[in-house]
Amino acid sequence: MGSALRVLVVGAGPTGLTAAIELARRGIEVKLVEQRAGGSGLSRAVGLQPASLALLQPSGAARRILSEAIAFQSVAVHREHELLANIAFPAGGAMLHGLAQDRTEYHLRATLESCGGELLYGHKLTALRQMSGRVVAALQPADNDQAINEEFDYLIGADGVKSTVRDLLALDFKGFELAQPWSIADIDCSGWDTSAFRIYLRDGGRIVVVAPMEANRVRVVSNTDNALEVLPVPVDVVDIRRQSSFPIAIRQVANYRVGRVFLAGDAAHCHSPVGGRGMNLGIADAADLAARLSVGQGDGYHRARHAAGRQVIAESERTRKILMSRHWPVRRLVETAFRAVGRYDFLQRRAISGILGRQ
């Protein structure tokens, strides 16, 4: 069933691609633009929760992603070298999957193409204005000095933490930045056990997470300035695809909607990598908004998704402060708690529920 609606989505990351897919498969004319010249080659987000895959199932995107993603059998938590808990997902039940973001985006792009959506790289949004129930967007191709004005019924800003859409709306991105830098290493390696998502708790509030993304590719992330140096176990590095440090901000915009313009994903909220919820939260934003816009009604989106974002940010910050505490009594309590989780089934079930999460 077709629709007279026309929607512009700005930003071709997982959030923008999901929004475009969910609109296109409902017969809505959608244009997705991305300022970059092509798709990202970086790992960025890794973990895909069951709720996200359920949202991507109707379009066929989940099937494509699962053809390549790694199914984690467990989440293993270590104190230095010592295993505190191996939180195993039940056989045949829901589980966490890992896939490099560039590969997730590859499958989402293929799904969008199959749905008939339009994706244009090298196109920059330079201005927008709202008038007479329409959004006029100025889009400038990389090979043209002049921006071209186009009219749309709605515009979705899914263009990340440094969102142009948010800036053009003059919306504050209130929050704060963590004092300490974080770091990431996207590496090819051999011999690493890809069956588990591993967390290493180290002295001084340091933490290292190793998330397999492919058979011989893992992402290492830490709340220090060199993730590989802090990893307490040996890894046979074949190639380093990317290694860098970066600041972490905790922010949320007050309004996800201004008239016919909406914000989703990192354009609306950002938080620390603890919990691995960022990409999943953005996918949920996009699916919710697309469903509402497909019937020409954006009401309720801000209230629902702002509340979801606020909750995830609060949970992420609470977990970050506990896991990365430098206070000896708190760290001993954390270690004791994880040992108990590893020992008792009912605590394992509660931990699994928290890991798999909801958006």
User: pLDDT-derived band of residue 359, with 50, 70 and 90 as boundaries?
Assistant: very low
Give the CA distances from residue 12 to residues 88, 92, 108, 110, 129, in Å, rounded to whole numbers and listed in that order. Answer: 34, 33, 10, 13, 21
Percent over 90 (pLDDT), the chain:
70
Sign of CA dihedral 22, 28, 33, 38: positive
pTM, entire model: 0.93
Cα 313 from Cα 278, distance rounded (Å): 9
The single-letter code of the amino acid at 103 is R
Burial class (CB in 10 A: 0-12, 13-18, 19+), 6: middle
103-148: pLDDT as tens digits: 999 999 999 999 999 999 999 999 999 998 899 999 999 888 899 9
193-245: pLDDT as tens digits: 999 999 999 999 999 999 999 888 999 999 999 999 999 999 999 999 989 98
35-77: pLDDT as tens digits: 998 876 665 678 899 999 999 999 999 999 999 999 998 999 9
Q: Domains of the chain by range and CATH?
A: 6-69+99-177+249-320 (3.50.50.60), 182-245+324-356 (no CATH)
The DSSP element (H or E) to which 343 belongs, if any, is helix 328-343
Strand partners, 250: 176
Cα 219 from Cα 99, distance rounded (Å): 10
Q: 319 Cβ partners below 8 Å, 6+ apart? A: 274, 275
Cα 285 from Cα 279, distance rounded (Å): 10
Residue 216: Cβ within 10 Å count: 16
- Residue 264 per-residue DSSP state: -
Half-sphere exposure of 119 (CA within 13 A, CB side): 27
